[in-house]
C-alpha cells in the first residue's frame, strides 16, 4: 500500500474516533480527567496490499420502491393500467374516480393498441350538467407527486374516442382544490388511438400532488399509457437528477443490478425478464415483483441500468436469473432456453449495431456497445438443487462466446475451495453490529489463489439498525477495514440496499454508513 492508501486509512481511523467522541458528547477536558488512550498504526511495507480500483461500488435493487417511486423519475403509478392483471374488469389502483356513479363510469377492457399490454381504461362521462371542475380520474403517484414551482413536467398519454371530446389535464393538491398546472387537450373522434403530448409548468409547490384527467361533457374516451416525467431528468435518461448527484459523489467503480431477490422472484413467472424491459416504454408489459410485493412498469429496465452504469462511469455487473426462484426451479436438462436468453442479453449489451440484438440497442439510441465484463449467475442460489448444474451450463456457454467476461458464483469460497470454476464468488452478510464487528477478520485466512471475493451485499440489520446509528455505522466501517486489509482476495464490495423510499421500509437496515463509506471512497 502506498503513502496515499496509508494516509487514507489513517484519516478513516481518525474519523471513526472523532465520530465516537461526538456521540459520547465528550470534550478535550473530559479526556484529560478520565484517561489517555494510545493508538498504534503498523504501516509496515510487508503488511501492505494494493487496494484494487474495483473495490468500492454500488448495488441497486428494485426494493423499498428504490426505482419505481425512487430513482426513476416517472410520477404516475400504474401508468398502463396493467397492475390489476390481464383479466378485465380489473383493479386500477392507485387511480381513483372524480365524481360519483351517476356522473361517470370507469372500467377496464382489452382494447389497447399495444400488443404486449392490452388493458386500457374506458371512461364514460354520464352527466349533462357536470360539475364546474369536471369528472374523471386522478393518480396520486407514489405517495404523492412532488411538484415544484417553475418546473416543467412532460405529460404523454394515449387516447381514442368515437366522438370528439375535450378534456383537462391538471396537477393539483392531494384534495384537488389547488391547481398547480392545467391544460386543455382535445381527442378527435375516430377509431384510432392517438398519442398526446402536453407540457405542464407548475405555478406552485406541493409534495403530495396528483395528476387529474377530467371532462365536462357527455362522451366516452379510452386512455392508456399515461406518463408524467419532470423535464430535467439526468442527461435526459429518466433518472432523478438529485439522486444521481448523490451516486456520483460516491464515485462507484461498478454498478450491480437489478437485484437481489428481485432477479429471482418468489416464483419464476414473476422474475425480472430483460426482454420485457427494453424497447419503447409504452410496449413494456411491466411485472409484479412478488418478493417485495409491488408492481413495476419496467420503465427502468435493462437498457436503463446499462445507461446508468455509463453515466456513473461504473462497470456494469449484470445479475441474471439462472432458472431458479425462491419456490421453483428449472431442471438442468431443460435450462438451454434460459442460457440462450442470457446470451441474447449479452449481445444486446455488447453486440455490434448490425447484430440481431445489438441493432435493438442501437435503435434505442446507443449504437456503441456497453462494456459488460461482469455477470453474476443467479443470486443466493448456491443451496438450490439445480444450481451447480445450471451454473455450469451458463458458465460454459458464456465463456465460449465472451472469454473476457468475469463470472460470479453464488457459492461462498471464503473458507474453502469451490467445486466449480468461477472468476469471483458472492459473499452476503446481514447481521447485527456486534457480529459484523467480529467479521472484520473473515478473509484473513482465505486462500490467496483461486477466485476473488465479491462482497456484494452487506449491512447491519435488526434492532440495532433502525434509521441509522453510529454503532451500526462503525460496525460496517470496521468490516470494511477487514476487506481493505484483505484486498488481494476481496475484489469488489457494495452496500445493500442502495435506496429506501421512506414510505416502504420493507427491509430495514442501517443508513448511517453512507458518510463513512463516502469518506473511504474519496481517498
pLDDT of residue 465: 79
Q: Is residue 476 annotated as a catalytic residue, yes or no?
A: no
Q: What is the mean pLDDT of residues 245-262?
A: 96
Q: Strand runs (DSSP E) across 110-205, as ranges? A: 120-125, 135-139, 145-147, 152-160, 165-172, 179-187, 194-201
- In whole angstroms, how far apart are CA 425 and each of 264, 317, 396, 400? 18, 13, 16, 20
For 484, how many CA atoms within 13 A lie in the half-sphere containing its CB?
A: 20
Q: What is the mean pLDDT of residues 465-487?
A: 91
- In whole angstroms, how far apart are CA 76 and each of 67, 240, 274? 13, 14, 22
On whether the CB atoms of residues 154 and 111 are closer than 8 A, the answer is no
Residue where the block lists cell 384534495? 175
Please give the model's pTM, rounded to 2 decimal places.
Answer: 0.88
Q: What is the CATH number of domain 57-73+233-516?
A: 3.20.20.80
On whether the CB atoms of residues 303 and 361 are closer than 8 A, the answer is yes
Q: What is the share, in percent, of the chain residues with pLDDT greater than 90?
A: 83
Question: 6-25 pLDDT, tens per residue?
Answer: 445 545 554 554 444 444 44
d(CA 194, CA 287): 25
Question: 293-333 pLDDT, tens per residue?
Answer: 999 999 999 999 999 999 999 999 999 999 999 999 999 99
Most confident of 366-370, 462-466, 512-516: 366-370
Kindly name the residue from 82, 282, 310, 380 that is annotated as catalytic: 380
Q: How confident is the model at residue 159 (pLDDT cuts 50, 70, 90)?
A: very high
Q: What is the share, in percent, of the chain residues with pLDDT greater than 70?
A: 90
* Strand pairing report for 194-201 and 145-147: unpaired
Q: Which three cell numbers stand for residue 80?
A: 398502463
d(CA 20, CA 1): 27
Q: How confident is the model at residue 267 (pLDDT cuts 50, 70, 90)?
A: very high
d(CA 45, CA 469): 35
Question: 394-449 pLDDT, tens per residue?
Answer: 999 999 999 999 999 999 999 999 999 999 999 999 999 999 999 999 999 999 99
On whether the CB atoms of residues 349 and 369 are closer than 8 A, the answer is yes
Helix, strand, coil shares of the chain, percent, nearest 5, are 25, 25, 45
Is 30's pLDDT higher than 70?
Answer: no
On whether the CB atoms of residues 376 and 319 are closer than 8 A, the answer is yes
Is 126's pLDDT higher than 50?
Answer: yes
Q: How confident is the model at residue 508 (pLDDT cuts 50, 70, 90)?
A: low
- For residues 506 and 200, the model is more confident at 200
Is 112's pLDDT higher than 80?
Answer: yes
Query: Which range among 101-110, 152-161, 376-385, 514-523 shows the weakest confidence by mean pLDDT?
Result: 514-523
Q: For residue 48, give the 3-state DSSP assignment.
A: coil
Q: What is the mean pLDDT of residues 164-180?
A: 97
Domains 57-73+233-516 and 96-230 in one fold: no
Q: Which helix (H) or strand (E) holds 43?
A: none
Task: Give, in words, the CATH class of 96-230.
Answer: mainly beta
d(CA 59, CA 374): 13
Q: Where are the domains of the chain?
A: 57-73+233-516, 96-230
Is 2's pLDDT higher than 60?
Answer: no
**Mean pLDDT of the residues in the chain:** 91
On whether the CB atoms of residues 517 and 58 are closer than 8 A, the answer is no
Amino acid at each position: 500500500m502506498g503513502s496515499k492508501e496509508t494516509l487514507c486509512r489513517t484519516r478513516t481511523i481518525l474519523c471513526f474516533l472523532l465520530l465516537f467522541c461526538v456521540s459520547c458528547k465528550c470534550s478535550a477536558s473530559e479526556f484529560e480527567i478520565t484517561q489517555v488512550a494510545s493508538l498504534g498504526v503498523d504501516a509496515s511495507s510487508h503488511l501492505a496490499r494494493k487496494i484494487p480500483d474495483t473495490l468500492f461500488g454500488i448495488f441497486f435493487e428494485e426494493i423499498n420502491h428504490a426505482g419505481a417511486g425512487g430513482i426513476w423519475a416517472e410520477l404516475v403509478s400504474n401508468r398502463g393500467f396493467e397492475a390489476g392483471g390481464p383479466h378485465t374488469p380489473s383493479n386500477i389502483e392507485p387511480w381513483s374516480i372524480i365524481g360519483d356513479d351517476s356522473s361517470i363510469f370507469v372500467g377496464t377492457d382489452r382494447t389497447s393498441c399495444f400488443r404486449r399490454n392490452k388493458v386500457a381504461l374506458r371512461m364514460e362521462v354520464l352527466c349533462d350538467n357536470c360539475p364546474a371542475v369536471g369528472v374523471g380520474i386522478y393518480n396520486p403517484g407514489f405517495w404523492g407527486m412532488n411538484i415544484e414551482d417553475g418546473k416543467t413536467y412532460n405529460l404523454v398519454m394515449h387516447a381514442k374516442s368515437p366522438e370528439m371530446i375535450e378534456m383537462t389535464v391538471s396537477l393539483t393538491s392531494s384534495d384537488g382544490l389547488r391547481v398547480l398546472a392545467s391544460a386543455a387537450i382535445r381527442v378527435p373522434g375516430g377509431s384510432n388511438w392517438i398519442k398526446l403530448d402536453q407540457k405542464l409548468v407548475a405555478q406552485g409547490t406541493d409534495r403530495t400532488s396528483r395528476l387529474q384527467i377530467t371532462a365536462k361533457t357527455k362522451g366516452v374516451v379510452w386512455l392508456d399509457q399515461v406518463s408524467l416525467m419532470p423535464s430535467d431528468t439526468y442527461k435526459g435518461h429518466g433518472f432523478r437528477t438529485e439522486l444521481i448527484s448523490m451516486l456520483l459523489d460516491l464515485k462507484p467503480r461498478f454498478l450491480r443490478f437489478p437485484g437481489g431477490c428481485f432477479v429471482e422472484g418468489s416464483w419464476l413467472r414473476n422474475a425480472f425478464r430483460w426482454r420485457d424491459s427494453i424497447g419503447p416504454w409504452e410496449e413494456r408489459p411491466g411485472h409484479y415483483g412478488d418478493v417485495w410485493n409491488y408492481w413495476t412498469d419496467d420503465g427502468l429496465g435493462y437498457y436503463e441500468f446499462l445507461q446508468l452504469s455509463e453515466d456513473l462511469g461504473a462497470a456494469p455487473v449484470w445479475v441474471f436469473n439462472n432458472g431458479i426462484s425462491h419456490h421453483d426451479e428449472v431442471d438442468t436438462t431443460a435450462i438451454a432456453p434460459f442460457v440462450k436468453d442470457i446470451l441474447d442479453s449479452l449481445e444486446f449489451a455488447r453486440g455490434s449495431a448490425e447484430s440481431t440484438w445489438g441493432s435493438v440497442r442501437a435503435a434505442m439510441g446507443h449504437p456503441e456497445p456497453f462494456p459488460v465484463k461482469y455477470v453474476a449467475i443467479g443470486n443466493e442460489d448456491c443451496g438450490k438443487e439445480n444450481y451447480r448444474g445450471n451454473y455450469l451450463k451458463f458458465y460454459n456457454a458464456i465463456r465460449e462466446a465472451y472469454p473476457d467476461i468475469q463470472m460470479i458464483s453464488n457459492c461462498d469460497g471464503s473458507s474453502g475451495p469451490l467445486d466449480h470454476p468461477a472468476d469471483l464468488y458472492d459473499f452476503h452478510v446481514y447481521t447485527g453490529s456486534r457480529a459484523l464487528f467480529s467479521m472484520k477478520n473473515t478473509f484473513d485466512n482465505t486462500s490467496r489463489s483461486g477466485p476473488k471475493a465479491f462482497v456484494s451485499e452487506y449491512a447491519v440489520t435488526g434492532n440495532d439498525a433502525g434509521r441509522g446509528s453510529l454503532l451500526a455505522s462503525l460496525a460496517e466501517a470496521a468490516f470494511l477495514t477487514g476487506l481493505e486489509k484483505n484486498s488481494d482476495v476481496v475484489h469488489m464490495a457494495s452496500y445493500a440496499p442502495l435506496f429506501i423510499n421512506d414510505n416502504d421500509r420493507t427491509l430495514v437496515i442501517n443508513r448511517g454508513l453512507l458518510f463513512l463509506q463516502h469518506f473511504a471512497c474519496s481517498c
